[in-house]
Amino acid sequence: MRLPAIVVLSTLLTVPAPLAAQQHGDHPHRAAPDDSAFRALQARGFLVMGVNQYTSVHRFDALPEGGRIELQRDRDDSAGTATIRAHLRAIARAFAAGDFAAPASVHAETVPGVIVMRARRAAIRYEVADLARGAELRIRSADPMAVEAIHRFLAYQRTEHHTGSTAHAP
């Protein structure tokens, strides 16, 4: 790990949870005051994604043909918006190639659904679209096994990131 990453990670891990909660207001992904595991996840997310998770809005929505990942800054931030867009484009390329190292790094484990998504990658399309303060990654497939794996992947993400997004009915 590079020295700056160690400094950022150690700094983020030492921020008291009540202070972190005050800094990000009413975001649905707030950590409980004693949730050091969540704070560690958020710090790893910062290292992988390049944006502060406490000042960004992350959604993981299951859709009939797969789902979508949305990541946006919670305020005007042109540098953060550009970082998010570049990150989601890189993720789309990596996932299409069967590379799920980024979510494994953020979560410090293999994310559910990834094994099937990797095996059935030829049946899955990844499409990025810019949003006002970030971007969204659409994950689509007509393969029922791939869609089920995508839904498992997104459900795990929703739980781990403490987001307010939910699965959508067809």
Query: For residue 104, is pLDDT > 90?
Result: no
Exposure class string for 125-152: b at 16+ Cβ within 10 A, else e = ebebeebebbbbbbbbbeeeebbebbbb
Query: What rounded mean pLDDT belongs to the chain?
Result: 77
Answer for the pair 115, 152: CB distance below 8 angstroms, yes or no: no
Of 38-52, 69-83, 101-115, 133-147, the poorest mean pLDDT is in 38-52
* Residue 14 binned pLDDT confidence (cut-offs 50, 70, 90): very low
Number of Cβ atoms within 10 Å of the Cβ of 104? 14
Q: What is the pLDDT of residue 38?
A: 63
* Residue 13 binned pLDDT confidence (cut-offs 50, 70, 90): very low
pTM for this predicted structure: 0.72
